[in-house]
Amino acid sequence: MTIFKGLSAYPVTPADAGGRVDTAALRRLVRRLADAGVDSVGLLGSTGSYPYLDRSERRRAVDAALDEVGGTVPVIVGTGALRTDEAIRLAQDAKAAGASAGLLSAMSYLPLNEAEVFEHFAAVADQGGLPICIYDNPATTHFRFSTDLVARLSRVPGIVAVKNPTCTPEEIPSHLASQRTAVTKGFSIGYSGDGNCAEAMIAGADLWHSALSGTLPAGCLGIVRAVRNGDLPEARRLDAALRPVWDLFRAHSSYRVLHEIVAQLDLCHLAPPRPVLPVSDGVRQQIAAVLRDLPPEILGTG
């Protein structure tokens, strides 16, 4: 599907301490992304705090975002939930609001086995009404999709894409080739984990699911466009310019760092939902220094 190609930008979801979404701020964030020219917006992903928001607030966020940019850029909405029936309802909500696709994780409290994950995804694809992208995020769900499971799910009607975590740059080509051979024709293979995604796109991945692009899309767009044009040195040059950001992500998590970046750029002011705490003063200063040193083409000001 053309929805799952290029660069998908995942913004934070502005919300207060009680989990009430600031829809005006969210509208501003998604408008910036649409105006920047991203290929899709990934709403309510991990960067967008989906596990911390109840169904009503997630619906308010989806309604606001789709009202702002619906029809101008595809919106992929996170529909992950602990219960299958709740994930189905969230997918139905996103469909009713006009979302283009759903992003579904193997979110759980008890460890899940492959049979349980298969049935969960098949049910949401069947009853939710949206094309589904598999969200493989073992760092948070503690479940890792095998190539065989992804291949089986790719044959389920309505499951059309996968969002993989990146391995090392050296391992990406073989992982991509193995998965490409196993899944059905036309099934989209994408990656997240910004620090390695330039190499994933160079290797032939269909989509970069990008956390940074939800806040600073220009540099990542430059990488994707350079790859499309066959200018791999330019793609790697831009990736190298972003290395200080990737290092911050690895050290402190993209989630915490991005909450601070949006504040320092005065895009919106929010604290991560408790029990997650804001970064320390020392890390705040590191982030400020990195932002000061980023070239204008990365910040989108040059």
Tokens 């069947």 belong to which residue? 126
Residue written as token pair 């702002």: 68
- Tokens 């309604």, residue located: 63
Q: Out of 5, 163, 185, 255, pick the active-site residue.
A: 163
Say whether 163 is catalytic: yes
Contact 65, 72 (CB under 8 A): no
Q: How many residues does the chain have?
A: 302
CA distance 247 to 254: 10
Of the candidates 109, 135, 191, 255, the residue annotated as catalytic is 135
Report the alpha-carbon distance of residue 296 to residue 302 in Å, rounded.
4
Q: Answer yes or no: is 47 a known binding residue.
A: yes
How far apart are the C-alpha atoms of 181 and 189, rounded to whole Å?
Answer: 11
Locate the DSSP E strands across the chain: 6-9, 40-43, 75-78, 101-105, 132-135, 159-165, 188-192, 207-210
Joined tokens for residue 60: 């308010």
What is the rounded CA–CA span in Å between residue 7 and residue 197?
10
C-alpha 300/C-alpha 77 separation (Å) is: 25
179 touches 213 (CB < 8 A) = no
Contact 210, 7 (CB under 8 A): yes
Known binding positions: 47
What amino acid positions are annotated as catalytic residues?
135, 163
Known binding positions for pyruvate: 47
